[in-house]
Structure 1
Amino acid sequence: MAPPSHARVVIIGGGVIGCSVAYHLTKLGWKDVVLLERKQLTSGTTWHAAGLIAQLRASANMTRLANHSQELYGGLEAETGVATGFKRCGSITVALTDERREEIYRSAAMARAFGVDVEEIGPDDVKARYPHLNTDGVTGGVYLDKDGQGDPGNIALALAKGARQRGAQIFERVKATKALRDGRRVTGVEYITDDGTQGQITCDHVVNCAGMWGHEVGRMLGTSIPLQACEHFYIVSEPIKGLEQLPVLRVPDECAYYKYDAGKIMLGAFEPVSKPWGMQGIPDSFEFDQLPEDFDHFEPILEAAVDRMPMLAEAGIHTFFNGPESFTPDDAYHLGLAPEMDNVWVAAGFNSIGIQSAGGAGMALAQWMDEGAKPFDLGDVDIARMQPFQGNKTYLVERAKETLGLLYADHYPYRQKVTARGIRRTPFHAQLLEHGAVMGELAGWERANWFANPGQTPAYEYSWKRQNFFGNVADEVAAVRSNVGLYDMSSFGKIRVEGRDATAFLNHIGGGQYDVPVGKIVYTQFLNDRAGIEADVTITRLSATAYLVVTPAATRLADETWMRRHQGDFNVVITDVTAGEAVLAVMGPNARKLMQAVSPNDFTNAVNPFGTAQEIELGMGTARVHRVTYVGELGWEVYVSADMAAHAFETVMAAGQDIGAKLCGMHMMDSARIEKGFRHFGHDITSEDHVLEAGLGFAVKTDKPAFIGRDAVLRKKESGLEQRLLQFKLTDPEPLLYHNEPVLRDGQIVGYLSSGAYGHHLGAAVGLGYVPCPAETPAQVLASSYEIDIAGTRVKAEVSLKPMYDPSSERVKV
């Protein structure tokens, strides 16, 4: 049977995720669902996946999706009659160092906050649950009894059968070859069958579920899907007499995982330096194929494994397998509506966790497609987080050498990737390095995270305890709090909105009021229909018809895409101008003194009060200064065109020497902002956090005409808050907070920290987190006793609704 001439949606790719998307769309009642598979279902990477199914992921929503997969697979066999091999055999992760033990114990605490059953166990308990393991050097472990394993191919085939039962049409040996486009929409897909028959399907939506072909298919569809195939190795032992079902075992310090496989043991590896594959394209004939063995590459993993699991030495190797899987630049998969197009969706790049992710990812994408809005925050995996340059093939190959191994590497706080670096540099980059900057990377930008002292090695030394930059950041915070600090903000996104409808357009998509005088700066949010926060930005009115929207560096593309998708008939031009201007922040009690030393302009409150911008002379050039702050101090962000940036930096630095100005980095900014209770987008505020419950009601102006989210704001004002974002400070100055640590109220877990950092001025770790409090007054919320669970230890915390640092913001307005 030939594919139909029209479909509501064409899904490209018949691996487990393509089948899941089809299954979930039909479950929501979609008709005319067509899936095209170039060869045979599961023939790319699904068929050789390990089939490990774990509950716990790095964030609450990713854990929610993983749990959906597990629950779904548990019932698929009864629904479809296809045996999935799903069984809850439990899993154990063991640590071989104290640092790894802290990591997995912190993960266990996080699991409890996410509602996942977990148990911290010692070496003896590890041995009891996995008697074949050599526990020499084991420092601890965690056990999750509901984790499991399944048959990857049959899970996919069960999903496909479930989709077919509800009317989906699935065509094998039909390859999508070309997209028909009309502006920002794909109107149809051309295809060719194995026997040479050609045809086309017009469609309303396309979903790229092409796995390791996703990059190529993405380009065909006019989108960038950054992923790269890598070789992935495992062995299967000969049958072992008397071997019975065992928990899945992970030994990340030896880059290995072990799985019981029908009386045999499978040993898989995530080696530190991986082997990218398919750089010249994946062969068109690829179908259930495996790659050549590379025993030399796998041998170090096997040597450690034979010592760790002695029965492997006695059993011998039955199968040595090498198959490709796709990996993304940040080890998070790609999901959602592609930024470049308005009806092209993606679910690809699953970084070797496709089986455990596919059920939840398919559910979330189907709901997103059906409702036209994300069902909950998916920022971790939203394809819009990827920057356009990250589709570069050379970049992907270099980064992929590292990302596979990072799955099992120590996930230290602030850990920086070492491959594919130096791509995006701010105009101050060279000068910052000369002054001891230690760079981190975000969205490809090289950013000074902290500054090494003379004689100190300018590099990270990672740990879960105080890292080697702890004292440096303390000094930088002290400079900003007591004198003046300088830091580079050039990486922050800058989007110019210009045209006769600029004011009306912004008043439509933003919660603030933008009909303000030229030079006025408005802190604001873009809201969705639920009054969740889609963007957290500042908007400066540059002229009667032009505004500058400043965004976090990581969300510039997502924020620009949000604006474009809601542009409608408004007569505006939206332009990314990020690279055109450098930005040097000058912050601290002596910021005005420093600005007056480099410019003849007036920086007093009478001329340049908080929340306003002005054009100035700076040295022998010109600049524009915005009087705003993300660190809670008097200060200016100095915007200067890229051609004059070096001169501006030299001018400010020279004048700053006279008053002891100090260069600072992003870690300082994070410490200072959390002391001030400033929210961090993506952590403290997301698309599912109501703007009022986030404590940002002051930025929403409901007295203006209709704007996106206005009705939801008014409803919440009427019904009352269900939860509040609180600030926590540990009473013990020693422990450190990062994020996701459980929050206990009167001894019961009620939530988790959305972000955490050390408050160097306040003298202890500080966190932000939501606490449910329906129908409670602020006084009732604050009257309780609060603790934070850090790797299993409860630490008392002070709590506040107002910022613990300068609650009345007197310092920023002097």
Structure 2
Amino acid sequence: MKLPNQARTVVIGGGVIGCSIAYHLAREGRKDIVVLERSKLTSGTTWHAAGLVRRLRPSATLTKLINYSIDLYGELELETGQATGWTQTGSLTLATNEDRLTNIKRQVSLGRAFGLEAEVVDPRRAKELWPLIEVDDVIGAVWSPADGRVNPSDVALALSKGARARGVQIFEDTRVTGLQKNNGRISGVKIGDHVIEADEVVIACGLWSREVAAMAGAHMPLYACEHFYILTKPLPEIQALGKGAHLPTLNDQDAFLYARDDVEGLLVGSFEPHAKGLPLDRLPADFSFDLLDEDWDHFMPMMENALRRIPALEKAEVRMLLNGPESFTLDSQFMLGESPEVPGLFLMGGMNSTGIALAGGAGKAMAEWIIAGEPTMELNEADIRRFSPEMNVLGALEARIPEVLGRHYDNPHPGRSMETARGQRRSPIHAGLQAAGARFEARGGWERAVHFGGEAAHLPLTFGIPAWRDQVGQEVQACRTGAAILDQSAFGKILVQGPDACAFLNHLCAAQMDIPSGRIAYSQILNARGGVESDVTVQRHGSDEYLLICGAGEVVRDLKRMRETRGRFQVEFTDVTSGYAILGLAGSKAREILQATTSMQVPELERFQFAPVEIGLASGWAGRLSFTGEEGYELYIPSDMAMAAHDALTEAGAEHAGLYASGSLRIESGFRAFGHELSPGITPLEAGLAKFCAFGTGFVGENALQDQAAKQQVVSLLFDDPNAIPIHDEPVYFDNKVVGQVTSSAWSYRLERSIALALINEPLGTTGVVNGFEVEIACTGFSAKASTKPAKEAFA
């Protein structure tokens, strides 16, 4: 078969991910699709994957994607005649400490919201389900009967067969040597001297994806690690199960292990705490159905854990220690979407050892995104726009990715933070925060101060009452009755200039942007369906100049949306995030403290108004608004003067507060946050923000909003029991049925109870307080009351 000269879509990579994307594109009716594979289908990582498919996951998005995958894998054989090896064995997840038991119970609760069957069992029942294990240290387990496994290569081949039947052309032994662009947009793929002109190109080539993306100047921050599992020869205990019988998949996350039966023997793998990174220059150019060298010294601690859990391994003969490469991302979530730098170039990879389980659902999601031009479902946690180019620095990947693999089985405690690749992006006042005792977490490459009690107020981590509760309470009090500095310098700042700046922003943003100079507008940026793509404040500095402020993780997605929306508007926009610090100054004494730093009269500002200020030796401007809902300002200061402003404020008596304090106050005030209450699947009408929409200005998404009725609603929840400690995603019940999920939660120091914001699908129909809600936290129901008003108003 001869390579074509042009195609509608070219997919690079013939593993399970590339085959799934091609299959789903074709199934959606897309024609003229070409798949290019450097070696043979399934080579690289797919062929040696363990093939485990577990439904219960820590988020709604992952759960939905994997459930679709399982349904698909069961249907593919009927459609294509190619078996996938899908076998419903169930899975058993062990807990040897209370926190692990809480974590897996939380997953059971989330699963119930999607109708997933799972059962918390005792050690005796766990041993009945997996007779080979030792359970003397097990305190509980979760049995998930609907889980199973597949043969990864067979899944990829079934997907490729289904794709071919719909007209997809697949070329093996075809190495891509370059990518072609035209006016910045992807336009083709080079294979030696041959070029395939293409409207879209999809990179899904596993380990090599980062390097292939770089051919087009695109960033794809992923990195490979060595991943180990042993295969044994047949064991009598497994043979005794009988032909065709299987044990459940075993997950012993406290021992960093997973296991299943395999050809009458056992497969035992690990996510060891001290993982080994894999520079790609260690792999030969023709690396294909190859493996890395065995390393028994490295694997031996995990082997000892395995012998402790499965004593039958002591007399097993090991067939091989398989060491194969896998790619991971900085935050342990896979990535997919259109490249922010190169329109028409779509990227998917960094599957973090969940590629087989996710391939069906994620492939479908990617295909729909390519066809629709934007996501068709909730994909924020996997959206490639969460990564800025700075996060693709090789040194950061080399340092962080082994830790990501090593902490794959960590309990996701509140307050958990990665320890490697730290200090990449620091606030201009970082030194001042550090001197004040800040505890930092790495978020999106930035060092963010979460509280000011240091290590002593942070550890131990727990799902119960956190060590920092009292410390954060002091910071909350300072934000109310004193004056507290809240470092918001990681917020994105985009300068918008040009004769059409006002008209452009009125088209981009839902709020009215034709405001007087010196005013600030609060707005959402919407997609064509009316869903929220970003949450911003916009300052007007002149007739043709604005400054847009967005969340710390929204800069890349906002700049991409602005480029796509610009059209014929005469406007330019520039990322000036690093040029300015933003210091929140919250509390009833904020104006008093600010005035004490200067002889210049601090202006009397109305809400959402800004004006120039001097702060000690620094100059900038102050806006009258606060993300906490308390009295105060946001101070915008050139980065090189930020420490001077910080020092002047602290000398005048200002204290410090971190993200945990501002989060508590935000939720009390009912303020919505992007990535929590706001997302591309939620409209301003549903989020209770319709009053900020300037209907009649022709903003993107306006037509969709006018035709829609709100199907869901954001409400405030107050828990009755002070022992209830939600985190996020917990299912919300009313009249014994699931009506929604928690989107944000915190301890309210005002109400001395946990509070939350939740998205429910049954509007309350009242502005009063409604009793009768229940939130399931780790398999325990906690009663709560709800209101459409902010918690501090509704429940005071």
Shared fold, TM over 0.5: yes
Moved more, 792-801 or 10-19: 792-801
In 2, Cα distance between the equivalents of 1:808 and 1:685? 23
Q: Which residue of 1 aligns with 2:785?
A: 798
Confirm or deny: 8 A CA contact 2:44 2:288 kept in the other structure: yes
Cα shift at 1:795: 1.0
Q: Which residue of 2 aligns with 1:96?
A: 96
Confirm or deny: 8 A CA contact 2:480 2:631 kept in the other structure: no
Confirm or deny: 8 A CA contact 1:213 1:282 kept in the other structure: no
In 2, Cα distance between the equivalents of 1:445 and 1:722? 36
Q: Deviations over 1:658-703 (max 9, x none)?
A: xxx321111111111011111121111100012101111111111x
**Cα distance change, pair 66–383 in 1 and its aligned pair in 2 (3 A):** same
Confirm or deny: 8 A CA contact 2:512 2:697 kept in the other structure: no
Confirm or deny: 8 A CA contact 2:771 2:784 kept in the other structure: no
Q: Which residue of 1 aligns with 2:257?
A: 256
Q: Which residue of 1 aligns with 2:720?
A: 731
Secondary structure, in 3 states, of the residue corresponding to 1:553? coil
Q: Which residue of 2 aligns with 1:457?
A: 456
Q: Which residue of 2 aligns with 1:812?
A: none
Confirm or deny: 8 A CA contact 1:721 1:773 kept in the other structure: no
What letter corresponds to residue 572 of structure 2 in structure 1? V
Q: Which residue of 2 aligns with 1:608?
A: 605
Q: Which residue of 1 aligns with 2:681?
A: 688
Q: Deviations over 1:380-416 (max 9, x none)?
A: 1011111211211111111011001221112111210
Q: Deviations over 1:471-521 (max 9, x none)?
A: 111111111122221111111111111111010001001100000000111
Q: Which residue of 1 aligns with 2:270?
A: 269
**Cα distance change, pair 460–563 in 1 and its aligned pair in 2 (3 A):** farther
In 2, Cα distance between the equivalents of 1:252 and 1:589? 48
Moved more, 461-470 or 681-690: 461-470
Q: Which residue of 2 aligns with 1:568?
A: 567
Confirm or deny: 8 A CA contact 1:36 1:171 kept in the other structure: yes
What letter corresponds to residue 162 of structure 1 in structure 2? G
Q: Deviations over 1:505-549 (max 9, x none)?
A: 010011000000001111100011111100011111111111111
Q: Deviations over 1:304-359 (max 9, x none)?
A: 11110111112221121000010111111110101001100011111111000110
In 2, Cα distance between the equivalents of 1:75 and 1:501? 53
In 1, Cα distance between the equivalents of 2:233 and 2:10? 43
Q: Which residue of 1 aligns with 2:588?
A: 589
Of 612, 625, 628, which residue of structure 1 is paired with 2:625? Answer: 628
Confirm or deny: 8 A CA contact 2:787 2:794 kept in the other structure: no
| 2:716 paired with 1:715 | no
Confirm or deny: 8 A CA contact 2:481 2:587 kept in the other structure: yes
| 2:698 paired with 1:706 | yes
CA RMSD for the aligned pairs?
A: 1.6
Q: Which residue of 1 aligns with 2:411?
A: 410
Q: Which residue of 1 aligns with 2:529?
A: 530
What letter corresponds to residue 339 of structure 1 in structure 2? P
Alignment of 1:422-571 (within 5 A): 422-452=423-453, 457=456, 460-571=459-570
In 2, Cα distance between the equivalents of 1:473 and 1:457? 13
Cα shift at 1:641: 0.6
Cα shift at 1:621: 2.7
Secondary structure, in 3 states, of the residue corresponding to 1:115? coil
Q: Deviations over 1:353-384 (max 9, x none)?
A: 10001101110010111111211121110111
Q: Which residue of 1 aligns with 2:222?
A: 227
Cα shift at 1:184: 2.3
In 2, Cα distance between the equivalents of 1:6 and 1:732? 64
Q: Which residue of 1 aligns with 2:371?
A: 370
Cα shift at 1:601: 4.6
Q: Which residue of 2 aligns with 1:195?
A: none
Moved more, 571-580 or 556-565: 556-565
What letter corresponds to residue 562 of structure 2 in structure 1? M
Q: Which residue of 2 aligns with 1:764?
A: 753
Confirm or deny: 8 A CA contact 2:457 2:467 kept in the other structure: no
In 2, Cα distance between the equivalents of 1:253 and 1:227? 26
Cα shift at 1:721: 2.4
Secondary structure, in 3 states, of the residue corresponding to 1:424? coil
Q: Which runs of 5+ in 1 are unaligned?
A: 193-197, 810-814
Confirm or deny: 8 A CA contact 2:519 2:539 kept in the other structure: yes
In 2, Cα distance between the equivalents of 1:573 and 1:460? 47
Secondary structure, in 3 states, of the residue corresponding to 2:20? helix
In 1, Cα distance between the equivalents of 2:103 and 2:345? 38
Alignment of 1:72-151 (within 5 A): 72-151=72-151
| 2:665 paired with 1:640 | no
Of 737, 741, 744, which residue of structure 1 is paired with 2:730? Answer: 741
Q: Which residue of 2 aligns with 1:787?
A: 774
Q: Which residue of 1 aligns with 2:48?
A: 48
| 2:199 paired with 1:204 | yes
Alignment of 1:272-287 (within 5 A): 272-280=273-281, 282-287=283-288
Q: Deviations over 1:180-222 (max 9, x none)?
A: 1113211111104xxxxx4110000000001010110110122
In 2, Cα distance between the equivalents of 1:447 and 1:208? 33
| 2:656 paired with 1:670 | no
Confirm or deny: 8 A CA contact 1:675 1:762 kept in the other structure: no
Secondary structure, in 3 states, of the residue corresponding to 2:402? helix
Q: Which residue of 2 aligns with 1:386?
A: 387
Secondary structure, in 3 states, of the residue corresponding to 1:64? helix
Secondary structure, in 3 states, of the residue corresponding to 1:155? helix
Cα shift at 1:280: 2.8
**Cα distance change, pair 738–458 in 1 and its aligned pair in 2 (3 A):** closer
Cα shift at 1:783: 4.0
In 2, Cα distance between the equivalents of 1:482 and 1:592? 12
Cα shift at 1:711: 1.1
Number of matched pairs: 790
TM-score by structure 2 length? 0.97
| 2:777 paired with 1:778 | no
Cα shift at 1:807: 6.6
In 1, Cα distance between the equivalents of 2:282 and 2:22? 27
Confirm or deny: 8 A CA contact 2:275 2:405 kept in the other structure: yes
Secondary structure, in 3 states, of the residue corresponding to 1:681? coil
In 2, Cα distance between the equivalents of 1:287 and 1:805? 60
Cα shift at 1:746: 2.4
Confirm or deny: 8 A CA contact 1:507 1:514 kept in the other structure: yes
Q: Which residue of 1 aligns with 2:171?
A: 171
In 2, Cα distance between the equivalents of 1:599 and 1:504? 38
Cα shift at 1:620: 2.7
Identity of aligned residues (%): 40
Confirm or deny: 8 A CA contact 1:587 1:634 kept in the other structure: yes
What letter corresponds to residue 408 of structure 1 in structure 2? Y
Q: Which residue of 1 aligns with 2:231?
A: 236
In 2, Cα distance between the equivalents of 1:304 and 1:62? 29
Confirm or deny: 8 A CA contact 1:209 1:348 kept in the other structure: yes
In 1, Cα distance between the equivalents of 2:692 and 2:212? 42
What letter corresponds to residue 23 of structure 2 in structure 1? Y
In 2, Cα distance between the equivalents of 1:290 and 1:26? 33
In 2, Cα distance between the equivalents of 1:629 and 1:116? 41
In 1, Cα distance between the equivalents of 2:467 and 2:2? 64
What letter corresponds to residue 121 of structure 1 in structure 2? V
Q: Deviations over 1:67-121 (max 9, x none)?
A: 1111000011111111111011111111111111111111111111233222111
In 1, Cα distance between the equivalents of 2:468 and 2:320? 47
Confirm or deny: 8 A CA contact 1:676 1:807 kept in the other structure: no
Q: Which runs of 5+ in 2 are unaligned?
A: none
In 1, Cα distance between the equivalents of 2:795 and 2:605? 20
In 2, Cα distance between the equivalents of 1:509 and 1:744? 37
In 1, Cα distance between the equivalents of 2:746 and 2:617? 39
